């Protein structure tokens, strides 16, 4: 580590954008180790502070500690998820267990815990304001949740578990990416691609050429079960092959087989939960979420599951009539489009020319954000980001002052993990006077040079959704980095992003962005009306597929130590768990099977995938509020911003919702939206 390392000091670029032009792979590990050393010294200085612990000399000092480490980690994990390489994979394998050990050295320090505990126990007489009091509570409860209160021998075992779990999660993610790339389907003749658009065929040809198969076509796998192209391909055998390959990701007897890894993860998580005095990992995780206990989650999901499956079976009968035969999972998307056309006169393939990426982004997403919050965007091609395809945009307040920087990285590539997500390179906070730098990653197939990027309706939904997370990060107005932006409880974090989806078909918004890329013609109003009329169409399938994944997550993480040790057959466990919930319906596979369920085995959603529908209860109720109050208006945006989005995680999540809505949430709007009443 030298002073020439780009991570050695705060960036002097606009918004403190990391100096990507200078950063190379060789900079990460030296900066990581130096960052760890610096933070441990800073924490020791806190412990050596004479006199009693105070909020300023302990909590604020902790907020200020580890700045170099945080800089390098934000950049590294952003890069490794969106543009990895063998070199970065090797760095992550070394870094992950060391990071777990470093975090444990701080979080499990008994002297530090006692300082914070004394502050927490005397909080009522400390005169702290609301935000400071909440930050103190978060620090104390996070340390307890991390095991700081355990005995010395228990803490030592916990450190071992955390280190091993970090290694396993890193390997799990690597295996998913490797096998997802390996399972791409190579197509020999263009006739097999009947049903795809000219643009989709050209994209498949470009993907094949990139892998050295010029004159052929490559259909890449996606991170979830199935593939968007299944709704268009007329070749049933090709559809079947794509679906079957999709369902075996990281579940083949090769080096990328994740079955032994996930079994070990489940066992070690159960053991760790027992250390904390909990029966299961799910109990431990959900205790600090808004749901509070797995029983509350299961109670809600069991209300929804029977209606979801019932609706899916009714939908299957409709598809069977159209197909003239029983429906398999690889048929569902294709015949759904046929029935959608028959029932609602909706042909989604004909809509794609109206959904061009640049128009959706600038005249849809940015337009809605401007109308609601008064913010505006200007592209900055002069700013160097972590990849040539990652585009930067200035974000301005209504008065012209800078709000932050948005980076959009929309296209898929072999070096990018699947799915879509938001993360931050700089967290908004007043402590260091930093503006937010927020990144959105998607996985849209890149068309050949000179061709437009035409989106599906599902991709538009994803774009609006992820930008909802971006708004949560950009509009944050908090003092401390620890509670900035999306730093809220896991089962609350999806709520603002889901709310942002409501503007997709809002008349003023859709009229502005949904224009034919060649003629400029508006998307016909009849088509928009039909889309609205079909809002609950296929929701049985969507809800059943999602719920199967959510309960699969809960099933794995509701095992005790003894139960986890007895599970040896991953597929049998998976099948039984879904069957026990009444969600076993073969034409509708779970959205994620266990071996490629990166959300829960390589991400932060273990025992938390239920959070999407848990948050949707709040989302549906909030959408009703917007509609009742006039929709896309600045006064509504300001209320949402001031009471909720701008508060980050600086107060209790559910109290934020009550401050916004004026009452607790109701489940009926969700049931109505999904056609489950």
Question: DSSP 3-state assignment of 247?
Answer: coil
Rg of the chain taking only CA atoms, in angstroms: 25
Q: What is the dihedral of CA 226, 231, 235, 236, to 10 degrees?
A: 60
Given the residues 337, 466, 494, 501, select the one marked as catalytic: 466
Eight-state DSSP code of residue 150: S
Eight-state DSSP code of residue 345: -
Whole-number Å distance between alpha carbons of 195 and 422: 33
Whole-number Å distance between alpha carbons of 616 and 496: 9
Residue 672, φ and ψ in degrees, nearest 5 = -65, -45
Q: Is 501 a catalytic residue?
A: no
The answer to whether residues 597 and 549 touch, using CB atoms and an 8 Å cutoff, is yes
Nearest to 8 by CA among 62, 95, 67, 87: 67
Nearest to 600 by CA among 269, 274, 287, 211: 269
* Structure-token pair, residue 88: 């970065």
User: Is the CA virtual torsion 252, 255, 260, 265 positive or negative?
Assistant: negative
Whole-number Å distance between alpha carbons of 193 and 199: 12
Chain Cα centroid distance, residue 432: 27
Which residue carries 């130590």 as its tokens?
A: 561
Which are the contacts of 328, defined by CB distance < 8 A and separation ≥ 6? 240, 243, 586, 587
Count of CB atoms within 10 A of residue 80's CB? 21
494 burial class (0-12, 13-18, 19+ CB within 10 angstroms)?
A: buried
DSSP states of 169-215: HHHHHHHHHHHHHHTPEEE--GGGGTTS-HHHHHHHHHHHHHTT-TT
Whole-number Å distance between alpha carbons of 366 and 509: 10
* Structure-token pair, residue 538: 């296929």
Which residue carries 């198969």 as its tokens?
A: 213
DSSP states of 535-579: TTTTHHHHHHHHHHHHHHHHHHHT--HHHHHH---HHHHHHHHHH
Which are the contacts of 478, defined by CB distance < 8 A and separation ≥ 6? 131, 428, 429, 430, 484, 646, 647, 648, 649, 650
Which ranges of 345-380 would DSSP assign to H, the alpha helix? 348-351, 357-359, 366-373
Bridge partners (DSSP) listed for residue 440: 408, 422
Bridge partners (DSSP) listed for residue 187: 217
Whole-number Å distance between alpha carbons of 77 and 92: 9
Whole-number Å distance between alpha carbons of 641 and 635: 10
- Report, as residue numbers or ranges, the catalytic residues: 466
């Amino acid at each position: 580590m030298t002073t020439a390392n780009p991570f050695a000091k705060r960036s002097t670029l606009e918004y403190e954008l990391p100096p990507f032009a200078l950063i190379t792979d060789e900079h990460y590990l030296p900066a990581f180790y130096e960052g760890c050393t610096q933070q441990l010294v800073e924490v020791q200085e806190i412990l050596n502070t004479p006199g009693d612990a105070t909020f300023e000399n302990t909590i604020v000092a902790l907020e200020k500690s580890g700045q170099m480490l945080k800089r390098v980690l934000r950049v590294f994990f952003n890069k490794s998820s969106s543009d990895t390489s063998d070199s970065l994979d090797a760095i992550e394998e070394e870094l992950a267990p060391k990071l777990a050990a470093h975090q444990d050295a701080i979080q499990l320090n008994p002297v530090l815990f006692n300082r914070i505990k004394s502050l927490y126990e005397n909080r009522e007489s400390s005169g702290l304001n609301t935000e400071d009091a909440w930050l103190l509570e978060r620090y104390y409860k996070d340390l307890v949740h991390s095991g700081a209160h355990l005995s010395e021998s228990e803490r030592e075992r916990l450190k071992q578990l955390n280190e091993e779990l970090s290694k396993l999660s890193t390997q799990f993610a690597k295996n998913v990416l490797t096998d997802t790339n390996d399972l791409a389907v190579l197509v020999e003749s263009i006739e097999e691609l009947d049903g795809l658009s000219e643009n989709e065929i050209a994209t498949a040809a470009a993907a094949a050429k990139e892998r050295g198969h010029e004159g052929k076509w490559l259909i890449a796998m996606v991170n979830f079960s199935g593939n968007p192209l299944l709704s268009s391909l007329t070749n049933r055998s090709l559809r079947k092959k794509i679906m079957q390959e999709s369902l075996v990701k990281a579940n083949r007897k090769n080096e990328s087989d994740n079955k032994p890894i996930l079994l070990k993860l489940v066992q070690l998580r159960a053991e760790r939960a027992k250390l904390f005095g909990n029966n299961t990992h799910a109990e431990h995780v959900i205790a600090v979420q808004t749901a509070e206990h797995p029983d509350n989650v299961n109670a809600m999901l069991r209300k929804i599951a029977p209606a979801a499956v019932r609706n899916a079976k009714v939908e299957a009968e409709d598809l069977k009539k159209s197909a003239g035969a029983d429906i398999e999972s690889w048929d569902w998307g294709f015949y759904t489009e046929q029935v959608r056309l028959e029932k609602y006169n909706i042909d989604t393939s004909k809509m794609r020319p109206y959904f061009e990426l640049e128009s959706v982004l600038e005249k849809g997403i940015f337009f809605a954000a401007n109308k609601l919050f008064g913010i505006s965007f200007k592209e900055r091609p002069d700013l160097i980001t972590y990849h040539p395809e990652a585009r930067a945009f200035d974000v301005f307040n209504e008065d012209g002052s800078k709000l932050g920087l948005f980076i959009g990285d929309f296209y898929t590539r072999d070096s990018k993990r699947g799915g879509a997500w938001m993360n931050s390179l700089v967290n908004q906070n007043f402590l260091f006077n930093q503006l937010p730098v927020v990144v959105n990653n998607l996985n849209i197939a890149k068309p050949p040079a000179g061709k437009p990027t035409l989106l599906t309706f599902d991709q538009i939904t994803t774009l609006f959704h992820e930008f909802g997370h971006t708004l949560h990060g950009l509009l944050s107005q908090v003092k401390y980095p620890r509670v900035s932006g999306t730093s809220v409880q896991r089962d609350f974090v999806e709520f603002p992003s889901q709310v942002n989806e409501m503007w997709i078909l809002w008349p003023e918004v859709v009229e502005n962005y949904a224009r034919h890329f060649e003629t400029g013609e508006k998307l016909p109003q009849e088509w928009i009306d039909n889309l609205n009329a079909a809002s609950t169409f296929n929701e049985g399938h969507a809800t059943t597929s999602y719920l199967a994944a959510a309960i699969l997550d809960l099933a794995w993480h509701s095992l005790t130590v003894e139960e986890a040790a007895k599970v040896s057959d991953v597929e049998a466990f998976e099948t039984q768990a879904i069957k026990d919930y009444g969600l076993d319906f073969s034409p509708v596979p779970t959205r994620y099977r266990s071996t490629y369920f990166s959300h829960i085995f390589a991400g932060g959603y273990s025992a938390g995938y239920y959070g999407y529908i848990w948050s949707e209860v709040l989302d549906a109720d909030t959408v009703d509020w917007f509609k009742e109050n006039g929709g896309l208006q600045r006064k509504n945006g300001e209320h949402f911003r001031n009471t909720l989005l701008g508060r980050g995680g600086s107060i209790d999540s559910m109290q934020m919702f009550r401050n916004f809505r004026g009452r607790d949430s109701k489940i009926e709007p969700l049931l109505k939206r999904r056609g489950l009443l």
